[in-house]
A = this chain, B = another copy of it.
Amino acid sequence: MSEKAVVLLSGGLDSATTLAIAVAQGYECHCISFDYGQRHRAEITFAQRLATSLGAVEHRVVGIDIGNFGGSALTDNTIEVPVSGVGDGIPVTYVPARNTVFLAYALGFAEVLSAHEIFIGVNAVDYSGYPDCRPEFIHAFEAMANLATKAGVSGEKIHIRTPLIDLAKEDIIRTGLELGVDYGDTVSCYRLDAEGRACGVCDSCRIRHAGFEKAGIPDPTLYR
């Protein structure tokens, strides 16, 4: 029997590649996506499709109220998503404690499934300056997770797997293509329109497009 893994799946390029890697490593993959009032909620539909096409055994959409607190351009319609290029520092698209909340849910789900592996597609190279994408955050979360749960008490070990953490965007894309990811089925844009078309100018679109250029691969993104 395969070992179980929980995979955080947003519908984006990074998490799709992460799922493909987890499947290729032989894990029985249980995916979670979150509906947190994000502007780009169309990504959930993409996630559902990816879970099926990449061979996950299960996909759950968990409704969470993180948008309730505000404080981010991704959940608060009164804050504009920047479109003038990737700047320095922590951008307004940062959602407070988002990866902490996502991983906390994944931890609960892993515990119920008796899974010891949690995959998350964070990346510390071509990322947007979010504090909760750094390796030191992931290590600290893993240490905490092993004290938070039954597994920790019984001496089993929970691992937070971040197969993309050291990869440049172009290497992520190459890895995914080798594993059969169709990036036309993924979305990255923070400002998707109702038809699921990308804006091309938000940070996420810019980082994604540059990745395809550097990889020398045509960008399959549907732009408006």
Contact = CB atoms under 8 A, between A and B. Distances in A.
B149 A132 contact: yes
A69 B148 contact: no
Number of chain A interface residues as a range: 35 or more
Interface in A121-143: 131-132, 134, 136-137, 140-141, 143
A189 interface: no
Number of copies: 2
Interface string A54-75: 0000001011111011110000
A111 B96 contact: yes
Residue with the highest number of chain B CB atoms closer than 10 Å, among A94, A99, A141, A148: A148
Interface of A: 60, 62-66, 68-71, 90, 94-101, 103-105, 107-109, 111-112, 131-132, 134, 136-137, 140-141, 143-145, 147-150, 152-153
